[in-house]
Chains A and B, each alone.
Chain A
Amino acid sequence: DTAVSQTPKYLVTQMGNDKSIKCEQNLGHDTMYWYKQDSKKFLKIMFSYNNKELIINETVPNRFSPKSPDKAHLNLHINSLELGDSAVYFCASSLISGEYTDTQYFGPGTRLTVL
């Protein structure tokens, strides 16, 4: 069974389009995250949700809007896509919010290419 899954795995789209990436975890975790890995391979946190509430919102353009319909899902919607949005987006989850020893489990990533 896949612990953290993301769809789609690949997403190719034109500038200006709106797209969504879905994430689901079946681990029963309370906290979910979105990370972005750019072309230089740096991984940076974007958002974190705990029990469907936003707890981290790093400096991310407001074209990016996370939505958590329930604890097991955290989707990422991106409006008006730009070339610089091209990256790999990883979803992750952890059992305990803000716990310094908790383990984060990552999904396989969604490679977004904006043309």
Chain B
Amino acid sequence: DAKTTQPNSMESNEEEPVHLPCNHSTISGTDYIHWYRQLPSQGPEYVIHGLTSNVNNRMASLAIAEDRKSSTLILHRATLRDAAVYYCILRDSGAGSYQLTFGKGTKLSVIP
């Protein structure tokens, strides 16, 4: 899986939008961009994924740059429950992409 780069940590005020960036300059045309998050003392959980177009779901939005070399996870209104480590992961659409390869992720702190 191709490599991603994320800031080590970010802070946000409660009820404000949060933009979590991810750089993946070596992304290939067949790589999907996945985001997972890990709340304190819990297992990782899926947030969102996309290929080229921006994606929205009930948890977040994913904005993908036109050249696909970067993406941004958007939490529209941060809550205290969103404090977690957020992982940006690339998954090759080729056969056999079984495991998730986690990097260091971004630790998001939400200030009340």
Contact = CB atoms under 8 A, between A and B. Distances in A.
| Contact residues of A: prevailing secondary structure | strand
Nearest to B51: A101
Interface string A103-114: 111111100000
Nearest to A91: B43
A12 interface: no
Given A98-B98, A100-B32, A100-B93, A41 B43 contact: no
A7 B2 CA distance: 33
B91 A48 contact: no
Contact of A55 (B41, B94, B98, B104): B98
B91 A45 contact: no
Nearest to B85: A41
A90 B93 contact: no
Main DSSP-derived SS at the B contact region? loop
Given A92-B43, A106-B43, A107-B43, A43 B98 contact: no
Given A43-B44, A90-B43, A106-B44, A56 B99 contact: yes
Interface of B: 30, 32, 36, 38, 41-46, 49, 85, 91-102, 104
Given A33-B98, A43-B44, A109-B42, 9 more contacts: A4-B43, A41-B85, A41-B104, A44-B102, A90-B44, A92-B43, A92-B44, A101-B32, A103-B46
26 contacts: A4-B43, A35-B100, A41-B85, A42-B102, A42-B104, A43-B44, A43-B100, A43-B102, A45-B100, A48-B99, A50-B98, A56-B99, A90-B44, A92-B44, A97-B98, A98-B96, A100-B92, A100-B94, A100-B97, A101-B32, A101-B91, A104-B36, A104-B100, A106-B43, A108-B42, A109-B41
